[in-house]
Structure 1
Amino acid sequence: MADGLRLDTLEIRLGGRCMVALDAHVAPGEVLTVMGPSGSGKSTLLAAITGALDPAFALSGRILLDGEDVTALPTERRRIGILFQDELLFPHLSVGGNLAFGLTPSLRGRAARRKRIDSALQQIGLEGFASRDPATLSGGQKARVALMRTLLADPRALLLDEPFSRLDAARRGQIRELVFARAKAQRLPVLLVTHDREDACAAGGAVIELGA
């Protein structure tokens, strides 16, 4: 049975100074919001969870995914999806090509992969956009493609690094709702890092403040 994401007495130190100390559990389909000022360790925490922590930092405690200790695993074996402030779509690939990049290798055959991409576009209201150049998309459309590319990789958890901050007010609520709804539908534990109280309220889960 899926247990979600567990940060078991996690501590991150730099030069003997404790940057982050967390003991938390995010159940499948739930959201944990981590807030704090710049320099409080939010990005460092995400790097630790994804396996990209700079060697200058010392990490203790455990990172568990569905009961599996992934603390020492390389990034690619953790199967943790992450969305950033920037969509980071590949400019040399079409919208469909960007989504294909996220597909798991277990899905074989051109027809099957194309069908999965078309279905994914339909789910985010971008049916028929497969051949479009990402540069022609609006900010909200790019955010939806970035989200679906991440979900197509079949992650076991989803990290959100202020992914709504560059969107205008009209799109922000819409994309935020889409992200949380998709994550809940796939029963993904979600860890959201944000400066924005509205993001935290929309997430609807527990809130932890770093540097408080």
Structure 2
Amino acid sequence: MPTDGLTLDALTLTQGDFSLSADLTVPEGQTIAVMGPSGGGKSTLLSGIAGFLSPTSGRILWNGQDITPAAPAQRPVTMLFQEHNLFPHLTLAQNVGLALGPSLKHAASPKVADALSRVGLETLGPRRPAEVSGGQRSRAALARILLAGKPLVLMDEPFAALGPGLKQDMLALVDETLRAAGRTLLMVTHDPADARAIADQVIVVEESRALPPTPTAELLDNPPPGLASYLGTSARARSSS
């Protein structure tokens, strides 16, 4: 069994009547798109890796170490949700500073200033989330991810609500910063253009299974039937909107 990166060893995750299985390895430092039909289990997969959902069987390993029993905060994992999870009563600097610990004093840290600068928010630290745009909130959430420094990053459609131009800017920023740090990324997306833009490989989640990663171009040029049907439906929906 490979020891470098993320290994899901005969893993089964169950939520109510739904069960998802996964037996795969993601090499360390890779960017992986997670794709598949709605309701197929993509968010369930990320919740299991992050520790928010306990497996019914199998193991989760990072660089050969079994992290299955570890609480979410003790895992080498940080997660960015679509709604960004910024606290509305805190400034952007205070939100980003939470990556360093629960004290709001971290907002004054030079590390927070550097993280905000890296995402182009160097002058907006004193503002609250409601006082900035959606794209700026996305950048603040990304700054917190960067500052957390954990080697495995999970993103669940974090930029789906953004316009095409801003989304591409955010994807480029994610690709540049995480690759430079050698961090591993699993990103749920419904858009094949996102996968082609930054993903080395794609994990397809369909029919209650998360399949092993496949090189992005190879998969999207010749998708399996379930993904092909879903992508065709998605493409028609986008063209009619």
Tell me if TM exceeds 0.5.
yes
Name 1:62's counterpart in structure 2. Answer: 59
Name 1:100's counterpart in structure 2. Answer: 97
Q: Is the 8 A contact 1:9 1:23 kept in 2?
A: yes
Task: Please say if 1:46 is aligned against 2:46.
Answer: yes
Task: Please say if 1:126 is aligned against 2:116.
Answer: no
Q: Is the 8 A contact 2:96 2:107 kept in 1?
A: no
Specify the SS of the correspondent of 1:210.
strand
What code does the residue aligned with 1:177 have? A
2 CA distance for matches of 1:120 and 1:167? 21
Q: CA deviation at 1:178?
A: 0.8
Query: CA 1:91/1:111 → structure 2, altered by over 3 Å: closer, same or farther?
Result: closer
Name 1:9's counterpart in structure 2. Answer: 10
What code does the residue aligned with 1:120 have? A
Q: CA deviation at 1:112?
A: 9.8
Deviations 1:57-108 (A, max 9, x none): x532221112211011111111311111112211111111111111158xx9
Name 2:194's counterpart in structure 1. Answer: 199
Name 1:85's counterpart in structure 2. Answer: 82
1 CA distance for matches of 2:154 and 2:106? 31
Query: CA 1:131/1:69 → structure 2, altered by over 3 Å: closer, same or farther?
Result: same
Specify the SS of the correspondent of 1:122.
helix
Query: CA 1:120/1:13 → structure 2, altered by over 3 Å: closer, same or farther?
Result: closer
Which deviates more from structure 2 when the two are superposed, residues 18-27 or residues 191-200? 18-27
Name 2:35's counterpart in structure 1. Answer: 35
Q: CA deviation at 1:125?
A: 1.4
Deviations 1:11-31 (A, max 9, x none): 23467x773222222223211
1 CA distance for matches of 2:109 and 2:34? 37
Task: Please say if 1:137 is aligned against 2:132.
Answer: yes
What code does the residue aligned with 2:120 have? G
Q: Is the 8 A contact 2:115 2:146 kept in 1?
A: no
Give every structure 1 segment of 4 or more consecutive aligned residues whose post-TM-superposition deviation is greater than 4 Å: 110-113
What code does the residue aligned with 1:40 have? G
1 CA distance for matches of 2:197 and 2:64? 28
2 CA distance for matches of 1:92 and 1:112? 14
Name 1:22's counterpart in structure 2. Answer: 22
Specify the SS of the correspondent of 1:87.
coil
What code does the residue aligned with 2:69 have? A
Query: CA 1:12/1:137 → structure 2, altered by over 3 Å: closer, same or farther?
Result: same
What code does the residue aligned with 1:193 have? V
What code does the residue aligned with 1:92 have? H
Higher helix share: 2
Report the RMSD for the aligned CA atoms in angstroms.
2.4
2 CA distance for matches of 1:40 and 1:91? 32
Deviations 1:106-127 (A, max 9, x none): xx9x699521111111111111
Query: CA 1:101/1:9 → structure 2, altered by over 3 Å: closer, same or farther?
Result: same
Deviations 1:162-203 (A, max 9, x none): 111111111010001111222112211111112111111122
Deviations 1:138-160 (A, max 9, x none): 12111111011122122120001
Specify the SS of the correspondent of 2:9.
strand
